[in-house]
Each structure stands twice: as C-alpha cells, then as structure tokens.
Amino acid sequence: MTQRLHLVFGGELVDPSKNVFKDVDDIHIVGIFPNYQAAHDAWKAEAQRTVDNAHMRYFIAHLHRLRDEEAAASSTEELG
C-alpha cells in the first residue's frame, strides 16, 4: 500500500497576492499527515485561526509527489 504523506505549513506573506514568505525562519510547520483529508482538516483549522490576518497563508504540500521511487530519476534528484 502506497503511503501519501502531506505537509501543512504556512506563514506571513510579503504580499497577499503572491506566495513569497516575509520571513522563512518564521514559517509555521503544522505537521505531516498520512492522507489528504487529515491534512485538509489541519490546513482549514490554521486558516480559520488566522483569518483576521490577510497576509497569513497556509498550504498543503503533497510530499508523495516529490519523489517517485518507481522512476529511474525523480525531479528532486535532477536538481543536483
């Protein structure tokens, strides 16, 4: 069975119309979740908690897409 891990993280953006963090040292790592539904629930809770700050954004990263063990070379290996 394939495990599909998801990372939920967020922080304050320089500009709400862009995805550039104001301070990468201040990124909030919510956690790693075993499925999309759990990640979505965590993302939603954080997004609602920070709804009054227009510059705060939370994201879900699909960790299982970063590395494909079945492929000869994944895109992460090609980065060097």
Q: Band of the pLDDT at 68, cuts 50, 70, 90?
A: low
pTM value is 0.78
Q: What is the pLDDT of residue 18?
A: 92
Question: Does the pLDDT at position 12 exceed 50?
Answer: yes
Question: Does the pLDDT at position 40 exceed 80?
Answer: yes
Contact 44, 38 (CB under 8 A): no
Q: How many helices (H) and strands (E) does the chain have?
A: 2, 3
Number of Cβ within 10 Å of residue 73's Cβ equals 8
Percentage of the chain modeled with pLDDT above 90? 72
Q: Residues 77, 4, 49, 17: what is their CA dihedral angle, to the nearest 10 degrees?
A: 40
Report all structural domains of the chain as residue ranges with CATH numbers, in order of start: 7-12+25-66 (3.30.70.2400)
